Structure 1
Amino acid sequence: MTEPNPHPTEPELIRVADGVAIAATLVGDGPVVLLNGGLGMPAAVWPFTGIPDALTAAGFSVITYSARGLKPSSAPPAPYTVPQMADDAIAVLDHFGVHEAIVAGYSMGCYVTQALVSQWHGRVLGVAMMAGLRSSAIGEIVNEMELGLIDRLGDLPEAVTVFEQLMTTLTPDQLVDDDAVRTWRKLLTSGDTSWAGADGLRGQLSASQSWMLAKEPTPERLAAITAPTLVLSYEHDVFFPPAGGRAAAEHLPDVEFHELDGQAHGGVMLDPQRRAMSMLTAFCTRVRGGAAAD
């Protein structure tokens, strides 16, 4: 495996296909955990979850990357597919010489995680899916709305994306707190876009929509995930409601399911208790212990 850099300054640009480069970073020392981010989530967001630092402190190497469509990776022409995005992640693993790993995803990154397990020839030591095992009708409707607006207007108005992020990311208590809503609106409208080009948003939305319309994940796909699996759902997540996640988790052969109260879809980042960070780190440590005993 490529020697990890404990203090990287810039991600590596890895050519994964013709005209497509993925920006990725490997840090830490030990068994590898690959983190697949959600729709529109560049690698720079992961540190806000506390997960990379917790994992490296626990003796793991961590790979984060910005999926196709996001800066500083490439934004090839849309549409994209989830299996295609999984192939990008596999190319990143290959670049770093990784032959076995724990694979974790958040939100749409769970779709990529599921497809990667089906497509990768390496050894999957464990699988973790946070706020993203199975989507809802609301998720399909939001994707359909956003793709329709892009087709009609050529882009997605900022007011639409801000409203959607506020309504799905914040908790019910935060949504009725005017000061909290105004603060988050200001945060969401400051800074540059994370998209690498006009095709980035359209491409990732189309990948998400095609996955959901195909009724993925199918019971067969889930039953084929034989590695130990951690599933985390949040009480107020309208995109990935706990009931749907619990029902889907029943098809996983070796699963640990947790419903975390008090949080919505943004719980991985906003939960003051950092439960996802703690539970993922504990899960990876258990999986590593089991692998060492094999």
Structure 2
Amino acid sequence: MAALPPSPSAVHADGGRCNVHGAAIAYRLQGPVDAPVLMLGNSLAADLEMWDGNLPALGQHFRVLRYDMRGHGASSTPAGPYTLELLADDAIALLDALRIDKVHFVGVSLGGMVAQQLAARYPNRIASVVLCATMSNQAAPAAWDERMAAVRRGGMEAIAEATLQRWFTPAFHAEAPQALAAVRRMVLATRPEGYLGCAAAIRALAQDALLPRIAGPCLVLAGEHDGAATPAIAQSLAQRIPGAQLHVVPGAAHLPNIERQAAFDARVLAFLADATAATGR
């Protein structure tokens, strides 16, 4: 395994909103100013604070760019529905606005779907990609019809509990009530219109054809107990992406970056060490 770039002493934090494609995209850019940039993509019904626990480890060696997808967090909520192509184009426009040429990208769930778009369509902008708890084809559109209908009827409160049950194992629910409460607040703070806009993109997911076009370093991660983006789905993804690595995070469900934070950070950093050595950035 290659060594990670050393931690420079100069650290700068920045944030704000950039106007891209009719949306104001909120971001935070933190970490050593001369380190490689690592961009993080959120799950549906989450904002950039879902990475708070990972920032100390990842930010030692990378300049970390977190952002809220349109309809989430502090970003604006243009009328939907949205597409995965649009969400990926938002990410590239944000990089353009910040004058960032190339990034390593880690995406969880919806963020992993966007990451597939980025790696396949913008290979000159993506140094490496981590696809976590995600898939390339929608096998259960009826389930998304039900969730979207529930949100239209009752807002985010209607799906909050079921979402947390899918995202985390029963053990985590028992062991980490404060962490669960913070995630619940994040879900409930999501605007229904933003949820519905992005959920429509997930419902229409059909990206199998993109996978062979992902040519750079790629790590596919799955939670051992993820009932949605299962380890079997992750294995299938990895098999269809040239040279991709596969890793299953023990004891985690759908958000391993939160549920098994240390294990997630360690595996991602090990992959990024090799990727930075291979790409030179």
Compute the TM-score of the two structures, normalised by the length of structure 1.
Answer: 0.82
Matched, 1:206 2:209: no
Number of the residue aligned with 1:224: 213
1:183–1:32 Cα change, 3 Å: closer
Q: Note the residue ranges of structure 2 that are not aligned, 5 or more in a row.
A: 1-9
Contact 2:123 2:214 in 1 (8 A): no
Number of the residue aligned with 2:278: 290
User: What CA deviation, in whole Å up to 9, does each residue of 1:211-255 have, x standing for no partner?
Assistant: 1xxxx331x311100101011111110110001110121011111
1:54 corresponds, among 48, 57, 62, to 57
1:276–1:249 Cα change, 3 Å: same
Identity across the alignment (%): 26
Matched, 1:243 2:226: no
Post-superposition shift, 1:11?
A: 2.2
Q: Whole-Å Cα distance in 1 between the matches of residues 21 and 102 of structure 2?
A: 22
Q: Whole-Å Cα distance in 1 between the matches of residues 177 and 251 of structure 2?
A: 21
Letter in 1 for 2:112: C
Q: Whole-Å Cα distance in 1 between the matches of residues 259 and 118 of structure 2?
A: 27
Number of the residue aligned with 1:126: 128
Contact 1:14 1:92 in 2 (8 A): yes
Correspondence list, 1:57-72, <5 A: 57-58=60-61, 60-72=62-74
User: What CA deviation, in whole Å up to 9, does each residue of 1:18-37 have, x standing for no partner?
Assistant: 3x110112222311111111
Compute the TM-score of the two structures, normalised by the length of structure 2.
Answer: 0.86
Q: Whole-Å Cα distance in 1 between the matches of residues 250 and 29 of structure 2?
A: 32
Q: Whole-Å Cα distance in 1 between the matches of residues 265 and 101 of structure 2?
A: 24
Letter in 1 for 2:267: M
Q: Whole-Å Cα distance in 2 between the matches of residues 250 and 22 of structure 1?
A: 34
Post-superposition shift, 1:107?
A: 0.9
Q: Whole-Å Cα distance in 2 between the matches of residues 126 and 150 of structure 1?
A: 35
Letter in 1 for 2:155: L
Matched, 1:144 2:145: yes
1:199–1:256 Cα change, 3 Å: same
Post-superposition shift, 1:104?
A: 1.5
Aligned residues: 270
Contact 1:134 1:240 in 2 (8 A): no
Correspondence list, 1:151-170, <5 A: 151=152, 153=153, 155-156=154-155, 158=157, 160-170=158-168
User: What CA deviation, in whole Å up to 9, does each residue of 1:127-172 have, x standing for no partner?
Assistant: 111111346746x443221112244x2x4351x3232123212214
Aligned-partner SS, 1:57? coil
Letter in 2 for 1:266: L
Letter in 2 for 1:16: V
Q: Whole-Å Cα distance in 2 between the matches of residues 269 and 82 of structure 1?
A: 24
Query: Cα RMSD (Å) of the superposition?
Result: 2.5
Contact 1:132 1:240 in 2 (8 A): yes
Number of the residue aligned with 1:25: 28
Contact 2:150 2:159 in 1 (8 A): no
Q: Whole-Å Cα distance in 2 between the matches of residues 268 and 201 of structure 1?
A: 21
Number of the residue aligned with 1:73: 75
Correspondence list, 1:249-288, <5 A: 249-271=238-260, 274-288=262-276
Letter in 1 for 2:168: L
Contact 2:47 2:68 in 1 (8 A): yes
